């Protein structure tokens, strides 16, 4: 656990003044109202460092696209400021912001070839024809589509169309790349592959990137940092490790990764009552009283025999359901009133415990997260 604390110290959540200076793209108290009643984004402050890939992660309707569109200049902010390299761009039109944008639906021109689609932004900027040809070829090479330059979008697969959209955003050599759920139309395998490709291109170009997604695996696996949004607000910003291991709120804990949630009562001595059992957590940040206790299913050990007495949390229960999903087994364990999910890696041999068995559980106090009433 010392390890975790060190990482926390090295990359604090609260950016200092120095770090704000280092940031390339900066959102300051950004707000967007649609009409009178919808407050889609509120008081959003977000520093994005140069060359960083940052995810805007959150459920449907939390304001991700709205935020991205404000950054791109496609819709005006109703309050707040956006700066790039210290320069205020809040009121600049999109074409003067030096940003490349990829929409969720690619938005390619169907009647134009791949080459013309990619060249479009350069033609609008009146780049000479020779130079345009060169830049388009370079962008298409980057996404490995040079050989399909003469095709039209409908003659391409979803993944290829997505790459054309990426080439079109990159061809203008923007200083910032904005991606709105670019992979959500692709099947699972292709999505995995494109994640690696996009990350690879982003790192090779060292381009500051904001990546909108509602997929936590995507955010965890691709990004330097994750900004979790909830109801138009920033719930937490941190590395994948910080957001997963040290969620600031119940919402973040539940949205990023799977987690058990059971009711309990935090006592003044720091222990927690969860019905029949008493357990411990580390440094609860909430006052004594009713709490929600959260434990990740794969951090709980399970055994037929009792675990030796140690400093960890122990519980006993009965398996009421087991689901085999190939690489893991999901056990539902009745603790006498509350149910815990426990995830185990499978083996090729017979499974050691099964439905109806009485089992012993063990998990670390440091894997026991405690939250007070959600605001």
Please tell me whether residue 161 binds ligand ATP under the rule CB under 6 A: no
Query: What is the rounded CA–CA span in Å between residue 331 and residue 328?
Result: 10
d(CA 51, CA 39): 31
Whole-angstrom distance, CA of residue 309 vs CA of residue 324: 30
By CB under 6 A, residue 34 contacts ligand ATP: yes
Please give the Cα distance from 238 to 254 (Å, whole number).
16
3-class SS of residue 334: strand
CB of 64 to Mg ion, least distance (A): 5
**Using CB under 5 A, which of 26, 65, 160, 341 touches Mg ion?**
65
Does residue 227 touch ligand ATP according to CB under 6 A?
A: no
CB 287 within 8 A of CB 372: yes
Structure tokens that stand for 334 in this block: 């009745």
Which partner in ligand ATP, Mg ion, none is near 201 (CB below 5 to 8 A by kind)?
A: none
By CB under 6 A, name the one of 12, 61, 306, 337 that touches ligand ATP: 61
In the list ligand ATP, Mg ion, none, the entry touching 109 (Cβ below 5 to 8 angstroms by class) is none
Alpha-carbon distance 45 to 81, whole Å? 9
Q: Based on the shown chain and the rule CB under 6 A, indicate whether residue 353 belongs to the binding site for ligand ATP.
A: no
Residue 62's binding partner among ligand ATP, Mg ion, none (Cβ under 5 to 8 angstroms by kind) is ligand ATP
Of 13-21, 60-68, 261-269, 316-324: span binding Mg ion (CB under 5 A): 60-68
Rounded CA gap, 257 and 234, in Å? 18
Q: With b meaning 16 or more CB within 10 Å and e meaning fewer, what string describes 34-63?
A: eeeeebbbbebebbbbeebbbbbbbeeebb
Per CB under 6 A, 368 contacts ligand ATP:
no
Contact segment (CB under 6 A) with ligand ATP among 56-64, 83-91, 242-250, 282-290 equals 56-64
From the list 62-70, 78-86, 220-228, 236-244, the region that binds ligand ATP by CB under 6 A is: 62-70
* Stretch near ligand ATP under the rule CB under 6 A, chosen from 59-67, 133-141, 167-175, 259-267: 59-67
Binding span for ligand ATP by CB under 6 A among 22-30, 63-71, 290-298, 310-318:
63-71
DSSP structural state of residue 155: G
C-alpha angle with apex 102: 67 to 192, nearest 5 degrees? Answer: 105
> Among 147, 142, 108, 139, which Cα is nearest to 122's?
139
Distances 262 to 248, 250, 368 between C-alpha atoms, Å: 17, 12, 11
Give the list of residues 6+ apart from residue 174 with CB closer than 8 angstroms, or none. Answer: 98, 99, 100, 207
232 vs 264, beta carbon nearer ligand ATP:
232
Q: By C-alpha distance, which of 139, 208, 212, 222 is closest to 176?
A: 208
Q: Does 60 bind ligand ATP (CB under 6 A)?
A: yes
Per-residue x/- track, 190-219, ligand ATP (CB under 6 A): ------------------------x-----
Q: Which stretch binds ligand ATP (CB under 6 A): 58-66, 152-160, 196-204, 346-354?
A: 58-66
CA geometry: angle 264, 343, 359, nearest 5 deg: 70
Size of the site for Mg ion (CB under 5 A): 1
Provide, rounded to whole angstroms, the least separation between the CB of residue 143 and Mg ion: 23
Query: Which residue is associated with the tokens 């909830």?
Result: 230
Nearest approach, Cβ of residue 252 and Mg ion (Å): 19
Binding site for Mg ion (CB under 5 A): 65
Binding site for ligand ATP (CB under 6 A): 34, 38, 40, 58, 60-66, 214
């Amino acid at each position: 656990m010392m390890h975790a604390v060190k990482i926390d110290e090295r990359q604090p959540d609260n950016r200092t003044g120095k770090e704000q200076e280092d940031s390339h793209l900066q959102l300051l108290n950004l707000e967007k109202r649609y009409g009178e009643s919808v407050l889609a984004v509120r008081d959003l402050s977000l520093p994005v460092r140069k060359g960083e890939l940052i995810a805007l992660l959150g459920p449907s309707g939390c304001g991700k696209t709205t935020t991205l569109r404000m950054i791109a200049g496609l819709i005006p902010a109703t309050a707040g400021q956006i700066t790039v390299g210290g320069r205020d761009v809040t009121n600049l039109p999109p074409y003067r912001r030096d940003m490349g944008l990829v929409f969720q639906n690619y938005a390619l021109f169907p009647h134009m070839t791949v080459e013309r689609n990619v060249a479009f932004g350069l033609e609008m900027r009146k780049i000479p024809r020779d130079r345009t040809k060169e830049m388009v070829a370079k962008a298409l090479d980057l996404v490995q589509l040079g050989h399909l330059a003469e095709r039209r979008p409908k003659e391409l697969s979803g993944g290829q169309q997505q790459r054309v959209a990426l080439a079109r955003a990159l061809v203008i050599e923007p200083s910032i790349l904005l991606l709105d759920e670019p992979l959500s139309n692709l099947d699972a395998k292709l999505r995995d592959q494109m994640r690696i490709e996009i990350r690879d291109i982003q790192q090779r170009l060292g381009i500051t990137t904001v990546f909108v997604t509602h997929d936590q695996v995507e955010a965890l696996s691709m990004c330097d940092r994750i900004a979790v949004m909830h109801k138009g607000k920033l719930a937490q910003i941190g590395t994948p490790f910080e957001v997963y291991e040290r969620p600031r709120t119940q919402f973040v804990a539940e949205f990023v990764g799977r987690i058990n949630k059971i009711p309990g009562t935090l006592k003044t001595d720091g222990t927690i009552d969860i019905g029949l059992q008493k357990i411990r957590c580390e440094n609860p940040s909430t006052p004594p009283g009713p709490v929600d206790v959260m434990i990740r299913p794969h951090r709980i050990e399970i055994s037929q025999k009792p675990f030796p007495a140690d400093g960890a949390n122990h519980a006993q229960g009965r398996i009421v359901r087991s689901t085999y999903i190939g690489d893991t087994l999901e056990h539902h364990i009745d603790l006498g009133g509350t149910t815990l999910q426990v995830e185990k890696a499978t083996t090729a041999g017979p499974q050691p415990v099964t439905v109806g068995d009485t089992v012993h559980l063990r998990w670390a106090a440091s894997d026991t997260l405690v939250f007070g009433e959600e605001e």
